[in-house]
Amino acid sequence: MSHPSSTPPFTQRPSKYQYQSGFGNTFESEAIKGSLPYGQNTPQNCPYGLYAEQLSGNAFTVPRATQQRSWLYRIRPSVVHTPLVPFTQPTLMTSNYDTINPNQLRWKPFPIAEKEHDFIDGMITIAGAGHPSVRHGIAVHIYTATKSMGDKSFYNSDGDFLIVPQQGTLDIQTEFGFLEVHSGEICVIQRGIVFSVNVSGPSRGYILEIFGSHFRLPDLGPIGANGLANPRDFLSPVAAFEERECNHVKINKFGGKLFTSTQTNSPYNVVAWHGNYCPYKYDLNLFCAVNSVTFDHMDPSIFTVLTAPTNEPGVAAADFVIFPPRWMVQENTFRPPYYHRNCMSEFMGLIRGVYEAKKEGFLPGGGSLHSFMTPHGPDADTFNAAIKSEQKPTKIPDVALAFMFESSLILGISEYANKNYIDDDYWKCWQQCNSHFQPPKQ
């Protein structure tokens, strides 16, 4: 997929997709040698006549260990645009998720409309809690797309996007460089970062949006130094720029609403940058699952890839959890996820294959929501098969990949999601959980 370019330094790169490795690292990257100033971030005259611009991901005065910011050296500053005005096109992206429903909910796969639409046009809000105006809460979205955004970009003032492609590859151009994100990978684009999504065919996936803290790796505790997602496997882009005059439309999400402005140049004119506030991607195949090898079933928190903590220790506004291919070897133990009620909201999606606790009805591109203290667990068929199964090592198939957006917040449902593609028969999958009770004879 080609991207327009008018400057020789841009075309000198051997490959469009180049990455830097590490999670939370302070990187430095320049598309033209010598374009990064040294010794001070805002010299009187930046190299090559560039503008210095800081992008801050949090307050200036947070502890140094949690400070996130980057310096961008660009051909024109990002302030060069027309005034933002309300976005008037119809959209299903919303901050209104007022429908409260404690039932177990499941959605059939969300269809990809035949009418041409891009990543922003195809965004649908499913559920959420809180509001971006108070910097606390989350939202769950589905996206579909059949065409690239072209000379249209998006930036989110409300929160960070964790994007989970289910079908199709996303070619994402950001101010920091390019990300190619396949199904089976994820990417995170933090608040304020401008990006455009290009696709080469029908695409669909899931988005977790967080309004407060940023995502970070979970602490490993007794696991030790290794396991789960390794920092070195996270990839951030290297600097890539274009100096191009065009009629560019920029869309901004602010306070739960969309606004738009225009400008006469490409926003992707960052020649160099340094800092630790930048987008990144991760291949879920690299996750090192930790599981029981003796007995019992570990809590699903052991499969957390990324977490967005609250101020309460151990409690997350959002966790991104996966259920990847892995060996099940524990003895004398019910191996599928156990029946449970808990103080978390669990939105699950399926990227590919079959989920181990729901053999039927839970399909790629669909989803389910199990809310606070609402009981849930494997369907009756899965239970009956599991209690009769031979206790030998079993491999969760390589094609299986499910995930969960888990939150300590009570999620409401959007009006659209409450009326469309709901599996009205979902509750029936547990009705054949009959009594197996055999009391001792008197």
The number of residues making up the chain comes to 442
Mean pLDDT of 280-307: 94
Quick one: pLDDT at residue 358? 86
Inside any domain, residue 127 = no
424-434 pLDDT tens trace: 999 999 999 99
* Residue 7 scores a pLDDT above 60: no
Catalytic residue (choose from 81, 214, 248, 370): 370
Is 329 among the domain residues? Answer: yes
Residue 127 to residue 231: CA distance in whole angstroms: 30
Whether 3 is catalytic is no
d(CA 308, CA 315): 9
The percent of residues in the chain predicted with pLDDT above 90, rounded, is: 88
| Average pLDDT for 343-354 | 95
Confirm whether 247 is domain-assigned.
no
8 falls in which pLDDT band (50, 70, 90)?
A: very low
pLDDT band, very low/low/confident/very high, at 419 (cuts 50, 70, 90) = very high
In a domain, 328, yes or no: yes
Does the pLDDT at position 50 exceed 70? Answer: yes
Q: 124-134: per-residue pLDDT in tens?
A: 999 999 999 99
- For residue 15, pLDDT over 70 is answered with no
Q: Which of 297, 356, 390, 436 is catalytic?
A: 297
What is the C-alpha separation between 366 and 110, in angstroms, rounded?
6
List the one residue out of 359, 280, 307, 361 whose CA is nearest residue 106: 361
The answer to whether residue 340 sits within a structural domain is: yes
> In angstroms, how far is CA 220 from the centroid of its own chain?
21
Number of domains in the chain: 1
b/e per residue 371-394 (b: at least 16 CB within 10 A): bbebebbbbeebbeeeeeeeeeee
- What percent of the chain has pLDDT above 70? 97
Q: Which of 175, 242, 346, 406 is catalytic?
A: 346
Predicted confidence at residue 44, as pLDDT, reads 94
Q: Is 274 a catalytic residue?
A: no
> Which of the pair, 441 or 288, is modelled with greater confidence?
288
Identify the pLDDT of residue 34. 96
Whether 338 maps to a domain, the answer reads: yes
Q: How far is CA 413 from CA 129, 140, 145, 234, in A?
A: 9, 10, 23, 32
pTM above 0.85, yes or no: yes
| pLDDT for the residue 378 | 92
Q: Is residue 185 part of a domain?
A: no
pLDDT > 50? residue 105: yes
Task: Examine residue 219 and state whether it is found in any structural domain, yes or no.
Answer: no
CA angle 137, 288, 65 (to 5 degrees): 50
369-416 residue pLDDT tens = 999 999 999 999 999 999 998 889 999 999 999 999 999 999 999 999
Catalytic residue flag (residue 131): no
* pLDDT band of 277, cuts 50, 70, 90: very high
- Residue 370's domain spans which residues? 287-424
What tens digit of pLDDT does each residue of 87-97 get? 999 999 999 99
Assess whether 436 carries a catalytic annotation. no
pLDDT, tens only, 115-174:
999 999 999 999 999 999 999 999 999 999 999 999 999 999 999 999 999 999 999 999
> Which residue in 280, 118, 141, 143 sits closest to 200, CA to CA?
118
Catalytic residue among 340, 356, 360, 436: 340
Which CATH number fits the domain that encloses residue 390? 2.60.120.10
Tens digit of each residue's pLDDT (9 = 90 or more) over 190-233: 999 999 999 999 999 999 999 989 999 999 999 999 999 999 99
